[in-house]
Structure formats: C-alpha cells, structure tokens
C-alpha cells in the first residue's frame, strides 16, 4: 500500500500560462514560413502542455502523438524505453517539433529522438516544459525549455505520480510527511 503524500505548489497555473505564451512566440518565429510543421506529443505526460502550446502557435500545424513509456508506476526509471504507440503519419522531409513534459535522465527523449531521426525529418527539435539537468544520464537537451527545476518529484499539468494528479492545473512537488 502506498504512503500518504501531500503536494506543494511549485509553479502556478498562471506562471505556466505566461511561459507557454513566450515559448510559443519563440517557436512561431523559429518556424516562420514553414507549412511542414508537425507537432508531436509524447504521451501521456505532454498532453496538457501540447494542447496549450499549439493553441498559442501562430503557424499552420499538424498534431500527432507517440507513446514511449519507461517509468510505469515507479518513481525511478527502469531504464527500459518501449514504443507503445507510434505516429499516425510519416515525417520524412517534415519539420518535427517533439513536445515533452519533463526531461529527467534524458533516456526517453534520446531514445525517441534516435527513432525519429531514422525517418529523416527535415528538422527535429524539442520543446520541454520542465528540465531537471541535475538528473541527466545521457547528453540530450531541448532547444526550448519552459523551466529548469531542482531534483524534486513533480506532478500536475500532465505529469503523474502512479497515474494520478495529471489533471492538476499547476506543477506541484510530492512530499511524504513523517
Ligand atoms: C515520464 C515523463 C517523461 C520521462 C522523463 O514519462 O513524462 O516522458 O518520464 O524521464 P527520463 O528523462 O528519465 O526518461 P513516463 O515514462 O512516466 O510516462 P508518462 O508520460 O505516460 O507518464
Ligand atoms: Mn512521459
Ligand atoms: Mg509517468
């Protein structure tokens, strides 16, 4: 049976919205003029971030999803990355923007980037809402990052703890009281 925990707010819904808006502005500028952009959300964690981000983009976009899971219900990575659900469409010659909720060890991202690169996209970039650089095990970096955070277990805005709390409108950190 799971220990009781509490969630302390770390990044407010308002702060997230402001950051998403400015990320979208930078991304829209970067891709200005392209009509080949496909925004790919990594399920499940990115589903809220991608929904908010694409609505702020001033670009013609297609949206697709990919599911790769490594964590299951544990709080630490099992190091195994599996593709559970592949993209619907081919990405050869396309501009691909991969959207992630959080880069932790970097294993999920580097594995997915390797797979997508074999499909020869024109450009493959990453936008991650959160980055925990202190936890990195493989050398991978998003072109756009919303917030750098310390090594705390976070939930909300798409991110789960044992599949719960994805629906919180803010980012919180999980704490286990004595
Ligand atoms: C979490 C998170 C990232 C990944 C980051 O996904 O959403 O995708 O782990 O960890 P890493 O950098 O150490 O690989 P998870 O595997 O828990 O699946 P989920 O998105 O369905 O929650
Ligand atoms: Mn994920
Ligand atoms: Mg998870």
Reported ipTM: 0.97
Determine the distance separating the centroid of ligand 2 and the alpha carbon of 108, expressed in angstroms.
8
Q: Which residues are near ligand 1 (CB < 6 Å)?
A: 42-45, 69-71, 77, 100-109, 160
Nearest protein Cα to ligand 1, atom 18: 69
Catalytic site residue 160? no
Of the residues 104, 131, 139, 151, only one is catalytic, namely 104
* Tens of pLDDT, residues 157-176: 999 999 999 999 999 999 99
Please determine, for residue 45, whether its predicted confidence score (pLDDT) is greater than 70.
yes
Query: What average pLDDT does this structure show over 101-118?
Result: 95
Total domains in the chain come to 1
Token pair belonging to 86: 């592949």
pLDDT at 38: 98
Predicted model pTM? 0.94
pLDDT at 95: 98
The share of the chain scoring above pLDDT 70, in percent, equals: 93
* Tens of pLDDT, residues 56-88: 999 999 999 999 976 555 555 556 677 899 999
Residue span of the structural domain in which 105 resides: 14-150
Residue 161 resides in a domain: no
Determine the distance separating the centroid of ligand 1 and the alpha carbon of 84, expressed in angstroms.
13
Q: Which pLDDT band, with edges at 50, 70 and 90, does 108 fall under?
A: very high
Q: Report the 10 Å Cβ neighbour count for 63.
A: 14
β-strands 171-175, 154-155 pairing: antiparallel
Residue 97 resides in a domain: yes
Element (H, E) at 9: strand 6-11
The residue among 102, 44, 95 whose CA lies nearest residue 73 is 44
Give the CATH number for residue 95. Answer: 3.40.50.2020
Residue 142 resides in a domain: yes
Residue 55 resides in a domain: yes
User: What CA–CA distance (Å, rounded) separates 159 from 14?
Assistant: 17
pLDDT at 83: 86
Residue 174 resides in a domain: no
């Amino acid at each position: 049976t799971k220990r009781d925990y509490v969630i302390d707010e770390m990044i407010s819904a308002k702060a997230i919205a402001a950051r998403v808006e400015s990320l979208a502005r930078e991304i829209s500028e970067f891709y200005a003029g392209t009509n080949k952009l496909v925004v790919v959300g990594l399920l499940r964690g990115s589903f809220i971030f991608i929904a908010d981000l694409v609505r702020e983009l001033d670009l013609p976009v297609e949206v697709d999803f990919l599911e790769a899971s490594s964590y299951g219900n544990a709080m630490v990575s099992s190091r195994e990355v599996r593709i559970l659900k592949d993209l619907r469409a081919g990405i050869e010659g396309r501009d691909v923007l991969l959207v992630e909720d959080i880069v932790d060890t970097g294993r999920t991202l580097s594995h997915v980037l390797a797979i997508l690169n074999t499909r020869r996209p024109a450009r493959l970039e990453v936008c991650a809402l959160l980055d925990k650089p202190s936890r990195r095990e493989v050398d991978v970096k998003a072109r756009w990052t919303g917030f750098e955070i310390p090594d705390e277990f976070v939930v909300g805005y798409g991110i789960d703890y044992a599949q719960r709390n994805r629906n919180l409108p803010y980012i919180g950190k999980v704490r286990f009281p004595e």
